[in-house]
Structure formats: C-alpha cells, structure tokens
Amino acid sequence: MATDRSTRTSEPAAPASVRRSRSPRARSPRQLEENARNRAEIVQAALRVFAEKGFAGTTLETIAKLVGLTRPGVLHHFPSKDALFEAVIADQEEWARRRYLGDDAPVADDPLATLRSLVPFIGRDDDSRVRLQMVQMLQGEAVSGHPAAQRFARQRLSNVRRQVRARLHQAAEAGELRRDLDLDALATLVSSAINGLQAQWLLDDQVDTAAAFETLVTTLSATAVPDGPPAANS
C-alpha cells in the first residue's frame, strides 16, 4: 500500500521515563521466556495491521489492543513504531527463508519442475494471505520512499531473481531450454509474473494463480530442444 512520503509520520519514541525503566538487570529464565513470547505476539499483531493499513495508517494503540497491552506496554518492547516495523520486516524475511526450497535443493528429473517450489509465493491459501499482503504493502512503501521498505523490496527482488535464475540454469544445463534464451531476462520476467500473480490473488482469490504459474512453467518447457546442448549463456 503506497503512501505519500510527505504525509508519512512516525510515532514518537518512548518517553524518557519509560526508557529509564529499561535499565539492564538480571532476568530469570521465566521472565526471558515471557518477554520473548510478548515480543513475538506484538510482532504478529503488528504484521496484520501493517499489512492492512500500511505504515502511516498504523498506530501503536491499535496493535496494543490486539495483544491486550497499552501503548507504553508495546513501547516497553519496541522503542518506536519504526523499531517495530523493522522487527516485522525481519519476521517477514525469516518466513520467506523458511518457505524457499533453496538453490542447493536436489534437482528433479525435470529441472523446470523446481520452479514449482515458488508456488507458495503467488497465493494459494489463506495462511499465505497476510504474508503476501505484507509483501505488496512493503513494495508500495518502498516506491513511496520508506528506507526500511526499500531495503526489503530491493533485497527480496534480488533474492527472487536469483532463485528463479538458479532453477532456469538447472534446466539449461539439462538441455531443456533453447540455446538462445537470455536467462537473466527470463528470470526477470518470471519474477515479475510472481509479483503480478500475488497481486491478482489478493484482489480476487477466485483467480487460479497456481494454474497460471503452471502454464508459465509448461510454456518454458515447450521451448526446449530435447537433444540440444546447454544454453550458451548459462
């Protein structure tokens, strides 16, 4: 969700009285566990609110109500809305790492089939909705100039292109792609398709994005020269 940079405001940091209350002191394992649980609950609540309302439209009061805290209670764990936003982005990045198959995954008999491991990133179930909504929101915030969102969006786009190109390279090595294909350009096109299918699914979950992505993979496979040598630019 893009917002006008001129209207974006960050909530003030915690007051001095709250900051002074955070002086380092020994904590029991039980206190540490409870603190970690509270932080995780705040981050998950913030994820939902940021994804729906964007950065400027989110308030700490709204997040606090979702977890049964007050605004100062949230500020006890995160000194500002910016700090909480950074924590949500870090959680989003960790979710993406868990969902990726990875460059070093075993190659299937049909190397192009490894592209199908990216299907969770185009929208297929309600569990993915808030995560994909967050991705789209962060891209909008990045275009509007939010520094943390820009870092996320640039790194994400780079990672997706890298993942896609690795899979295309595997297919090229197996002779499943034409020799004249530009794998870098093709990786950009596939990455753009993933982004577009995400947005379509969020706007209309009746769109069968998995089938659309399957059609794309099949189309790539149809360009193969079965007995040809690997792509020259692989």
Query: In this predicted model, what pLDDT tens digit does every residue of 142-163 receive, in sequence order?
Result: 999 999 999 999 999 998 899 8
Q: Do 106 and 218 have their domain in common? A: yes
Q: Do 107 and 76 have their domain in common? A: no
Phi and psi angles of residue 40, each rounded to the nearest 5 degrees, phi first: -65, -40
Q: List pLDDT tens digits, range 37-50.
A: 999 999 999 999 99
CATH number of the domain where residue 176 is located: 1.10.357
CA distance linking residue 59 with residue 65, whole number of Å: 10
166 inside domain: yes
Which residues form the domain of 210?
102-222
Q: List pLDDT tens digits, range 198-226.
A: 999 999 989 899 899 989 888 887 765 55
Q: How many folded domains does the chain comprise?
A: 2
Domain end call among 85, 111, 146: 85
Q: Do 113 and 184 have their domain in common? A: yes
pTM (two decimals): 0.74
CA distance linking residue 164 with residue 81, whole number of Å: 34
93 inside domain: no
Q: Do 109 and 30 have their domain in common? A: no
Q: Do 132 and 68 have their domain in common? A: no
CA distance linking residue 44 with residue 34, whole number of Å: 15
* The pLDDT of residue 32 is above 90: no
Q: Do 68 and 42 have their domain in common? A: yes
228 inside domain: no
CA distance linking residue 77 with residue 42, whole number of Å: 9
Would you state the pLDDT for residue 224?
57
